[in-house]
Each structure stands twice: as C-alpha cells, then as structure tokens.
Structure 1
Amino acid sequence: MGRVFEVLHSRDLVHWRSLGGALEPLPGAEARDYWAPEVAHHAGQFYLYYSVGVGDRGHQLRVAVADQPAGPFRDSGSVLTPDNPFTIDAHPFQDVDGTWYLYYACDFLDGERVGTALAVARLEGMARLAGPSRTVLRASQDWQLYRRGREMYGAVYDWYTLEGPFVVRRDGRYFCFYSGGAWEEPSYGVSYAVADHPFGPWTEPPGNGPALLRTVPGHVLGPGHNSVVTGPDGRDYLVYHAWDPQKTARRMCLDAIEWTPNGPRVDGPSFTPRPVPALL
C-alpha cells in the first residue's frame, strides 16, 4: 500500500492538482481503513489527525507529524483515545489564547438517543489529550437517525449519529458545525450549535432538520462533513462532500457562508454555476 489520504492543492479553490498521498500506512491487519484526516500547523510542524480501523469497527484516533503540509506524515506511535472503543472525525482547534482542543465523534450508549455524538478534550503537546473529555452535542432530532435496529456492542439499538465537528470562532462566540444522520442516505446534512466557550454549553438553532445543508432531490444527495476555509477573496466557504445524483461517488463541494446576526447561512448546496472566488 502506498501513502494514504490524497492531498489536493489549489490557489483559487477552483483549480486543483494532486500532490499524492500524505500518510505512511501503519502495519497490521487492524489498520485497514483510514478516515477523515485533518491537519493543524503549530510551532513549525504539521499534525495530521485521523482515525484507523476495519470497516466501521474499532476506529481509534491517532496523530502523525510532518515538516510540510503535503507530508510525508509519519505516525507518532500513540492512540489519542485508548479508553474509547470507537472514535472518529478528529478536529483540532486553537483558541485565541493559544489553547488547543480536539473535537471528535464517539459512541454513547446511555440516554434517549443512543449512538455516535460529539465530544471535546484539551490537547497537550499536540499529541496527547489532557483532562477529561466533555460532551459537546448528542442527537436530539429524528433526522439524525442513522439506522433502526442496529447491532452494536452486543445489543440492538435505534442508532443516531452526529459526526464531523468543525469549530469556528466568530465575534467572540464559537460555532460547531457538524453532520448528522446516515451518510449513505438523503437525510444526511449539516447543522451547527453555538457556545461562549470551547467546552460549551452548546445551543442549537430552532427548527427541524439540518440548518445549513440538506439534500436537493435529483441534484445533490447527503451533503456532509464540512470544513470552513477563508478563500482568496477573504470570504468564508463551507467545503463538504456530497453524493452525485447517480450515487457513484461523493464529490468535494464548496459554497459561500454568510454570517448574519442570527448565525451562519449557506446558499446551498449549489448545483448550478456560481461566481468563482476572486483573487485579492
């Protein structure tokens, strides 16, 4: 196996070229499926957070290090969440005071809506979690159902899923974007919650269904797992993936974010031509 996690490079968010794989794979049969990489830059080095497991079982968060954003990244040799049987979708976030946090998704077997949900812990030295983790969000709406009658941990549950956290600080408040539902289905979408501190408590906007991105039948299916980037024009953009109408593959998509007094808004998912980000 060659390097995993293909790196794409662009100067304008429109034209992209491949730089090859980023991460040297781990040895062993238990390290087969590599999911959801995200890179942070700190003190001259680049840290790639990812999960690895087999299928949808046994995934654990790890971190790899490189001197360049395209790698090659080499695993640091430690599991960030050794006491949790399933953790995915790591998102490193640095606050204005310099403190680093790691948001991620893990499984909860208590409460009304059992399933995968969001947690956060403080990062220490970029490669270790310090202190206890805290719950960010649990499933609270029907659209966040992943599967009824799912066999997990020796029991059968109606399983709900929140995943793909990404945090942005805006005007002194913290916005946690996330995806919910079943990634294979049209119900999958992107919503958000708001807090005054990286640890919360977090409040979701009123309404039913994903607040930011949802399926457009016949055009875009199951948009999700977003990141927020600032484009060459100074505007913020939501970058996410979604199925094409034939459901042959999930494609990388991009739509502009408008920050309003009532929270972020996205005119998407778009499926017709839009103005490209202008170079400043």
Structure 2
Amino acid sequence: MLRRGLNALATVSVALFPLFGPRPAPQPPDPTVIKPAPFKPGQRAAYYNPVFGRRFPDPMVLRVRRRYYAYGTHSGPLTRGVFPILRSRDLVHWKRAGYAFRRPPGFAHGRWWAPSALRWRGRYYLFYSVQSRNPGRMCVAVAVARRPTGPFRNRSVLDCGVSGGSIDPAPLVVGRRVYLYFARTDAFCKPFPSRCSIVGVRLSRNLLRARGAPRRLIGVDQPWESSLTYSIVENPWVVKRGGLYYLLYSGNDWKAAYGMGYATSRSPLGPFVKPESRPFLRARFGLFAPGGGSVVTGPRGKSWLVYHARREGPGYANDRRRSLHVDRLLVRRGRVRITGPTLKSATLP
C-alpha cells in the first residue's frame, strides 16, 4: 500500500514538473522575417493570401506600365491553350487573361513548367520548360509575341541539359545584355546532389540562342535543400541591388519541405556565395511548401515576392493546390528578408 502511494506521488510529481519546473528558453526571432505592419483595433486587412486561390504554381509576374501579368505552370488539359495568364492593376485582384499558347508547339510532349516573360525591344519573350519528344528530356525554350497575353509562337530550344534536362528559366536584363538562369536536373540528384545545379548563360542579341556554355552557379550543399525524397535547387530568380546580384532559388521537396534561399555575387555569372544556412522563406502560419517565387516592383515602388504555397485543410493539402501569394520583400546590404508567408496584410503593395 505504501509502495503504491509512493508510486502515485512520483507519477503526479513527474506530470506536474512541466507546469511548475523551469520553462524552456524562448526561441530567438527569425532574422529572415520582416516584422509586418501592425493592425490597429478594428482595422481590416488590406489583402488576404492567397490573392488567387486556384492552382497557379511557379508564378512569374511581368509589369507592363500600370498593369501586371502573371504566368504560371500549366496543369490540366490543353484544350483551351497552354500556360495560364492572369492580369491585375495592384498585385492583389487578379482576373484570367487567357493562355500564352493557343496550341502546344509540335516538338513538345508534356510537362509545361515555370514560364517567365520579358519585354525586350518592343517584343515579348516567353521562356519556359517542357518535355520534348526528342530527346525526351526537359528542355528550356523561348517563344515570341507582340502582346504580353500572346499568342506566343515558339522560336528556339535553348538547352536540354545532359540527363534529366533543364527547367525553370528566368531572364535578367543588365544594360544591353540579357542573361538566362535555369536549373539542370538529374534522375540521380538524391544520391549525387552535385548533378543538380542552377546555371546561367548570356543570350544572343535576339535572345534565341546561348552565347557559350551555361556556367554552374550553385548546387545542393545545405541541409535544408535535401530530404529523404528530394535533393534539389531550382526555380532561380536574379535581381540586382546596389552592385550586388541576388540569386533567389527554391529547394527540397515541392510537396512538403519546400523553401527559398539565396546566394550573392558581384557578377551576373558568379561566383555566387550562400551567406545563410537556412531558407528566408519556409512553411509557417498554416502555409506549406512556399516557393517558386519571382520578384516584381509594386505600384508604390517597393519589391514584392510572388510565390506559390499550399494551405492546410481539405481542398489544399489533399490535392496539392499551389496558389498565388504575395508578400513584401527587402533586398539590401547582402541580405534578403520577407514579411511572410502571411495570411493577411495591413498594407497594400
């Protein structure tokens, strides 16, 4: 009887220890997150994420005067066209604007991924990745149109990689030169991470071919970029601020542990160095797998990151719906910071 009483007392003491014992030390604030503008009592949110709640993976936004055009990975049938386009005046309210292609190019077989648009010398260029019929790998190609909403016509295949292929192209204008960044993938990225990398190359004056061989810029070399199922860096986007080039990219499993990191360089083609060992954008606040982002200047002249993410609950996590999100981005002094991922914001872009 005494032994039972002592045992019971010990059990109660252990159970109560977390309540009355020493509390764990508070976690330091995440330095990669900008503190969002505070809400005043009774104030309504200026906008809510996602700003476009339907599927729109790998978003890229092009600003043309006072309008914005968003291009995203194609999912679903090709009966109406290829690569959905949205348009907006404020980065918050979006409407459908058709498709970039009325019909798929003949060389393409499927997997229409991550388009990026560029206005150059009065024309619009759409860089995109697609699985080719021959050699059967993912290839980066370029199409041209007279308007940002197309219709685009394919003009050239730029790169098909060596094994898994090339994906996720992103252009950058530096003076009179145009550079293209994209990811090279491989079926053996997990056991051999060195086979997966982000590369860059200067384009010809008409943007229809590469000038020389692509140069390797970054690879998989940080723990957060790998998991049991994925080991990859992809979806590059480069911006220049104050003489420094910032290479933003996504890493890890796009269905689960996805996030975004960055590297910096004094030259558009490197060498690039990753100044931090963790992603500046990762899952939090009920949002999963954020990534596939691009940077655009908002109506008030500030930088915003446009990216996709998934939400918890039925209709999101179950069908992997990657919707369009927007959050304030700060790029300066060799660092990248973000307010998100957020569900609501007190300030408009």
* Offset, 1:250: 0.6
Q: Which residue of 1 aligns with 2:266?
A: 196
Q: Does 1:171 align with 2:242?
A: yes
> Does 2:202 match 1:122?
yes
Which residue is 2:215 aligned to? 134
1:181 to 234, 252, 257: 252
Looking at structure 2, the residues matched to 95 and 29 of structure 1 have their Cα atoms a distance apart, in angstroms, of 31
Q: Deviations over 1:219-245 (max 9, x none)?
A: 110100110000001110011001111
Structure 1 residue 237 corresponds to structure 2 residue 315:
no
Within a 5 Å distance, the mapping from 1:69-218 to structure 2 comes to 69-76=148-155, 78-82=156-160, 84-85=162-163, 86-96=165-175, 98-107=176-185, 113-124=193-204, 125-145=206-226, 147-148=228-229, 160-185=231-256, 187-207=257-277, 209-210=278-279, 212-216=280-284
Counterpart of 1:61 in structure 2: which amino acid? Answer: V
Cα shift readout 1:67-117 (whole Å, capped 9, x = no counterpart): 0001011111x3211453410000111113x11111000036699624432
How far did 1:26 drift? 2.8
Q: Kindly indicate whether the alpha-carbon contact (under 8 Å) linking 1:89 and 1:163 is maintained by their aligned counterparts in 2.
A: yes
Secondary structure of 1:183's counterpart equals coil
Q: Could you tell me which residue of structure 2 aligns to residue 274 of structure 1?
A: 346
Of 239-248 and 111-120, the range deviating more from structure 2 = 111-120
Q: Is the 2:182–2:199 Cα contact (8 Å) retained in structure 1?
A: yes
Judging changes above 3 Å, is the alpha-carbon distance between structure 1 residues 75 and 220 closer, same or farther for their aligned structure 2 residues?
A: same
Larger CA Rg, structure 1 vs 2: 2
Matched, 1:222 2:289: yes
Structure 1 residues 21 and 200: CA distance shift in structure 2, 3 A: same
Decide whether the 8 Å contact of 1:37 with 1:50 is kept in 2. Answer: yes
1:8 to 2:86 alignment: yes
Aligned counterparts of 2:311 and 2:119: Cα–Cα separation in 1: 32
SS of 1:163's equivalent in the other structure is strand
1:160-218: CA deviation from partner (whole Å, max 9, x where unpaired): 21001000010011000000001011x210111000000100011133x21x200016x
Contact 1:146 1:161 in 2 (8 A): no
Structure 2: which 5+ runs fail to align? 1-78
Which of 48, 51, 76 aligns to 2:126? It is: 48
Amino acid at match of 1:101: Y
1:32, distance to aligned residue in structure 2 (A): 1.9
State how 1:242-261 maps to structure 2 within 5 Å: 242-246=309-313, 247=317, 248=319, 249-261=321-333
Task: Pick closer, same or farther for the CA change 1:261–1:206 going to 2, 3 Å.
Answer: same
Specify the alignment match of 2:48 in structure 1.
none
Q: Secondary structure at the match of 1:92?
A: strand
Q: How far 1:8 sits from its partner (Å)? A: 0.6
Choose between structure 1 and 2 for higher RCO, CA contacts under 8 A separated by at least 6 residues: 2
Secondary structure (helix, strand or coil) at the match of 1:131 reads: coil
CA distance in 1, matches of 2:338, 2:292: 15
TM-score by length of 2: 0.70
2:112 matched to which residue of 1?
34
Closer, same or farther in 2 for the Cα pair 1:27/1:99, shift >3 Å?
closer
Matched, 1:65 2:144: yes
Checking the alignment, whether the CA contact within 8 Å between 1:115 and 1:160 is kept in structure 2 is no
Secondary structure of 2:344's aligned partner: coil
SS at match of 2:196: strand
The answer for the alignment partner of 2:17 in structure 1 is none
CA RMSD of aligned residues (A): 2.1
